[in-house]
């Protein structure tokens, strides 16, 4: 229902603002679904690697052609009997002054230099951008599966309404090539434990307001807290458990075997529970093994030797 504004002409009405509704279909719905992810993992887009490579090849070929033209002009300058032209190749001020004359050959060389500046800047910017894009991670299988299910209608509508891509035309195949997809915001932690909990986290909520959407989300910080707690407990167990066990064992061979076993377990734990690099895993494992060796060699363990009686 609409009400007429006070003091306004009869043909001008004041519309009562309505509550915003979730878009039903097409690009508005897809954009809204992507934006409602609290972890922003749904920002998945194509990289267009083939087109990017083609663009770089075209720019590279243009610069190669310009380079050949510049080399040919340099050879002509060296063979020319025009002393002003040869002086322009040695003195910038002379080159700029002669290039202002449209009848001088320096004018063409100046135009070529300006074109090379623009093209090489465009080429280098494209190279740097492509290097950054090439380092983007692919979306995880969990995110890609959820995205595809919603995109194709599996989680978007009730089963009675069937399944169909939310976008038509060529855009309906935007998620087909997994190798050409990039996740703008991948998970912060990529260790094995974090990935396992992210794929099987039981406490999930519905973040999208559409009643026909069955997609579930979870705060990433909850997984981070759980991983931090589990990692702390396991690290304490590996250290305290190893020292306690070595204290009660008296056989040297058994102690050596226990040190080796605990060291292997520690290295596996660091590799699975953290994002440590190989060098960091080696350093942490060496430090852990050194602690155990010092504990044993420092006569801090239980030797079970009775004092000698005189």
Tens-place pLDDT, residues 227-279: 888 888 888 888 888 888 888 877 878 888 888 888 888 888 888 888 778 88
Which residue, chain included where needed, has tokens 């001088």? 104
* Predicted model pTM: 0.67
Does 259 lie in the same domain as 206?
A: yes
**Tokens matching residue 77:** 């300058």
Between 153 and 161, the higher pLDDT residue: 153
The answer to the question of residue 285 being in a domain is: yes
Q: Does the pLDDT of residue 195 top 90, yes or no?
A: no
The answer to the question of residue 310 being in a domain is: no
The answer to the question of residue 58 being in a domain is: yes
Of 168, 186, 204, the residue at which a domain comes to its end is 186
140, 129 in Cβ contact below 8 A? no
d(CA 287, CA 294): 11
The answer to the question of residue 29 being in a domain is: no
Does 151 lie in the same domain as 81?
A: no
Does 200 lie in the same domain as 176?
A: no
Over residues 39-49, mean pLDDT? 90
pLDDT at 299: 56
Between 161 and 114, the higher pLDDT residue: 114
Between 24 and 179, the higher pLDDT residue: 179
Over residues 111-130, mean pLDDT? 95
For 181, the domain range is: 138-186
Question: Using N-to-C axis directions, what is the helix angle for 220-248 and 252-273, rounded to 10°?
Answer: 170
Does 105 lie in the same domain as 57?
A: yes
What residues have CB less than 8 Å from 247, skipping those under 6 apart? 300, 301, 302
Does 151 lie in the same domain as 83?
A: no
**Structure confidence at residue 156 as a pLDDT band (50, 70, 90):** low
What does the radius of gyration of the chain's CA atoms come to, in whole angstroms?
34
Torsional sign, CA 189, 146, 25, 17:
negative
The answer to the question of residue 110 being in a domain is: yes
Does 68 lie in the same domain as 96?
A: yes
Between 115 and 200, the higher pLDDT residue: 115
Domain count, the chain: 3
pLDDT tens readout for residues 17-35: 454 554 457 888 888 888 8
């Amino acid at each position: 229902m609409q009400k007429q504004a006070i003091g306004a002409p009869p043909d001008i009405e004041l519309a009562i603002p309505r509550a915003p509704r979730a878009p039903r279909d097409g690009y508005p719905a897809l954009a809204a679904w992507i934006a409602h992810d609290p972890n922003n993992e749904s920002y998945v887009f194509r990289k267009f690697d083939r087109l990017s490579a083609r663009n770089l090849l075209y720019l590279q070929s243009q610069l190669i052609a310009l380079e050949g033209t510049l080399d040919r002009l340099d050879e002509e300058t060296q063979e020319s009997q025009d002393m002003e032209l040869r002086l322009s190749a040695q003195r910038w001020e002379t080159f700029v002054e002669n290039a202002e004359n449209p009848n001088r050959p320096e004018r063409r060389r100046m135009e070529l230099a300006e074109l090379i500046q623009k093209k090489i800047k465009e080429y280098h910017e494209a190279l740097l951008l492509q290097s950054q894009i090439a380092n983007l991670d692919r979306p995880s299988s969990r995110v890609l599966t959820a995205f595809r299910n919603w995109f194709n209608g599996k989680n978007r509508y009730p089963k009675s309404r069937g399944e169909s891509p939310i976008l038509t035309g060529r855009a309906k195949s935007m998620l087909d090539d997994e190798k050409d997809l990039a996740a703008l915001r991948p998970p912060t932690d990529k260790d094995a434990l974090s990935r396992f909990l992210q794929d099987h986290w039981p406490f999930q909520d519905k973040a999208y307001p559409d009643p026909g959407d069955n997609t579930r989300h979870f705060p990433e910080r909850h997984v981070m807290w759980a991983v931090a707690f589990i990692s702390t407990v396991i690290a304490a167990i590996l250290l305290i458990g190893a020292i306690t066990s070595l204290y009660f064992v008296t056989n040297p061979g058994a102690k050596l075997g226990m040190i080796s076993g605990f060291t292997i377990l520690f290295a596996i734990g660091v590799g699975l529970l953290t994002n440590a690099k190989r060098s960091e895993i080696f350093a942490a494992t060496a430090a852990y093994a050194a602690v155990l060796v010092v504990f044993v060699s420092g006569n801090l363990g239980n030797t079970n030797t009775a004092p000698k009686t005189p």
